[in-house]
Amino acid sequence: MPKSTKTGKSRNDLRGVRKETAWALFIAAIVCMTVYAVVLARAPALGALKCGAAALALYLAVAAAVYFLFERRKKHARAENLVPVMGKIMFDAVLQMTTPIFICDSSDRLIWYNTATEELYSEHNKLYGESVNELFGVSLADIRAQSDGKRIECEGRSFIAKYSHIRTEEEDFALILTTETTELDRLREDLTAGEPVVGYIIIDNLAEMMQYSSEQYRPAAMRVDEVLREWADRFDGVLKEYERDKYIFVTEARVLSELTASKFDILDRVRAVKVDDTSLPLTVSIGVSNVIGTFEEKEKAAHAALELALQRGGDQAVVKGDFTTEFFGGVTRSVQKRSNVQARVVSNELMTRMKNASNVLIMGHSHADYDAFGACVGLAKIAMVCGARVNVVVDAANRDIIGARRMLDGEEDFLGIFVDRADALDLLGVGTLVVIADVSNLKIVECPEIVERAENLAVIDHHRKVAEFEKEPDVEYIDPSASSACEMISEMLEQVLPRDELSATEAGVILAGIILDTGQFTKNTGTRTFAAAMYLRDRGADMSAVRELFKESFEDYSGEAKFRQGVEIYRGCCAISVVETEEDLSRVIVSKAADNLVKVEGIKAAFTVLRVGDSVKISARSGGEINVQLIMEEIGGGGHFEGAAAQIADTSTEDVLVRLKAAIDKAIEKIN
């Protein structure tokens, strides 16, 4: 219908409404006068004035009602007149909008789209009938599922698409409205890329390497300093030495992406710096914060990342983000520190916590060995000196520690000390201090439920830390350079325990832990290791009694021999042996088998794989060139450089071997 015709029709409608209203008022006036005459004739006593007032009131009421109806009909007539006008305005506005808008039918096919959609896909001749998934890479269901809008990418531009439902008498349709965010995303990326990044760098072992060649200390430090500054300049960073051999590094997030892409090759460049004829390379540890927040928060995160790098053995970089932690490097063994200062500080702090605790619960990792058990015994002794009520959580069915437990049968101090998981949970209360030894992965402790419920926690371990704790311990002492947890506990005992408090039997149990983890003092030993052993021998540890603990039964000897059959040499330097059995072979047997395999000429790392039921256990040993801890971390385990392990449930042996070989490949690539 032409516009003039529509307008004329609307005016005629308004005239009709006015005419009807006038007639209604006229009739109402006649009715009111008639009522006035009748009432006055029949009730003259009321008087003409009262009758006239009543008739006037009636007329005004009728007039008001008629006026109200007139206004409603007039608005309705105007609205009907605006419907076609507004429809055309809205259609033109949608058609000319600068972001894509389109309508789909029930089969997700386009049936209408605006000019912006057509321009976006200018190379397409026809968009009608195309599916949403083909054009935008997401289905209509995906867009509908996101109430706040679904992010879509097309033709190098980004949009937020929102879904609206259109229902008609015949069919349902979907209206998709989009808002372009390309420029906003680019600005956000620029801001993120320019976000400051804070890092700490420390030279790990320069002081230790220079203890016998002090005149080379400064030249070596200057060479490392030169390498670090050249590296910082290359990446447009600011490097400042705030203390001897310690640096702070500030750069931007875009630079951090380059550093991670290069896998922090500065680690290799520092390692290439040679000092005299020493075979041990110089190394640095780096902690980098990639969190969003204030400079104070970034500095704290960088410091935490550096601590984690050191607790994992040094010679590596740790990048801590808001939700992730990345590790780079870690291809050299840790260097033992000579100072006992940290052991003394930790001992004093731990004793303070024990004195203030209502009771103390101590435990090691599940399937405890002599190192975990011996460390628990030493910690229990410290708790006794503090006057604390103490218990050690053990698995009574664990035959790997039966010999050590028998040694303590005659020790009065340890009568009734050992409890199982159920009793330990009953002992856990308000103010209980839980001390974990020989493990930093709190998911594989003897009783994880105790850790989850504990208010106060202390962790003492010599394995490389896998990741940060969900709950920060009150006391944390992790030193991967130590040969064993018993070595660390021996140092603590030497600092705080009166000379006659440690019996010969207790010293022997702790010494057994050191002997186990060092392979009879043949691996991962240093001056600290022998100093700890000398301390325990001085307290009366009987080597002959300790040697009896390491004698194995004929059944264990036969079980270990199974790993010598069908050994696979992988990558020319890694031995892998797999045994599947229903027998309950000891974890010690699996470890001994790996120890023996790594002694074979040409073997740099050995992996013994044992399948019992639905569980697969792996014991890994290194000859000193390959970091088996990193390999075990890849498949969910952990440990330290020369010895690590993993336990995987509900998977096939074939799948475990595939994952193990992939982890070996990755570790060898790092070295090469």
d(CA 103, CA 493): 77
Confidence of residue 204 (pLDDT cuts 50, 70, 90): confident
Which of 266, 310, 320 is closest to 289 using CA atoms?
320
Q: What is the pLDDT of residues 83-93, one digit of tens each?
A: 454 455 556 66
For domain 197-329, give the CATH number: 3.30.70.270
The SS3 assignment for 176 reads strand
Nearest partner of 126 among 633, 292, 134, judged by Cα:
134
Please report how many Cα atoms fall inside a 13 Å half-sphere around the Cα of residue 387, on the Cβ side. 3
What is the mean predicted confidence (pLDDT) over 635-662?
A: 88
Q: Do domains 197-329 and 555-671 have the same CATH topology?
A: no
φ and ψ of 581, to 5 deg: -155, 160
3-state SS assignment for residue 663: helix
Average pLDDT over residues 220-224: 84
For residue 559, the model assigns a pLDDT of 81
User: Average pLDDT in the 589-594 region?
Assistant: 87
In the predicted model, is pLDDT for residue 1 greater than 50? Answer: no
Choose which CATH entry (3.30.450.20, 3.40.30.10, 3.40.50.300, 3.40.630.30) describes domain 101-187: 3.30.450.20
Sheet holding 157-167, edge to edge: 110-113, 101-104, 172-180, 157-167, 150-154
Cβ 275 vs Cβ 213: under 8 Å: yes
Higher pLDDT, 18 or 249: 249
Query: What is the crossing angle of helices 485-496 and 527-538, to 10°?
Result: 60
Domain boundaries, the chain: 3-96, 101-187, 197-329, 341-549, 555-671
Strand partners, 465: none
Which whole number is the average pLDDT over 505-511? 95
Please, what is the Cα angle at 513 between 316 and 389, to 5 degrees? 100
What is the bridge-based pairing of β-strands 359-363 and 390-393? Answer: parallel
Output the CA angle 572-575-580, nearest 5 degrees. 140
Q: Which of 310, 288, 289, 285 is nearest to 298 (CA)?
A: 289
Given a cut of 70, whether residue 482 has pLDDT beyond it is: yes
Residues with Cβ within 8 Å of residue 576, at least 6 apart in sequence:
567, 568, 569, 570, 606, 607, 609, 657, 660, 661
Q: Is residue 318 a contact partner of residue 286, using CB atoms and an 8 Å limit? A: yes
Q: What is the mean pLDDT of the chain?
A: 82
Interaxial angle between packed helices 48-96 and 3-42, expressed in degrees from 0 to 180 and rounded to the nearest 10: 160
Strand partners, 35: none
Which fold, 555-671?
Diaminopimelate Epimerase; Chain A, domain 1 (3.10.310)
- Residue 470 pLDDT: 78
* Range list of H helices, 100-216: 115-120, 132-136, 140-145, 182-193, 206-209
Helix (H) or strand (E) holding 54: helix 48-96
Q: Please tell me the CATH code under which domain 341-549 is placed.
A: 3.90.1640.10
Cα 577 to Cα 569: distance, rounded to the nearest angstrom? 9
pTM for the whole thing?
Answer: 0.63
Residue 28 has pLDDT above 80, yes or no: no
Nearest to 359 by CA among 443, 439, 441, 417: 417
Least confident of 115-119, 184-188, 519-523: 115-119
What contacts 24+ positions apart, CB below 8 Å, involve 313-316? 313/464, 313/480, 313/481, 313/629, 313/640, 313/641, 314/204, 314/205, 314/283, 314/285, 314/480, 315/204, 315/267, 315/271, 315/283, 315/284, 315/285, 316/267, 316/285, 316/286
Q: Does residue 63 carry a pLDDT above 70?
A: no
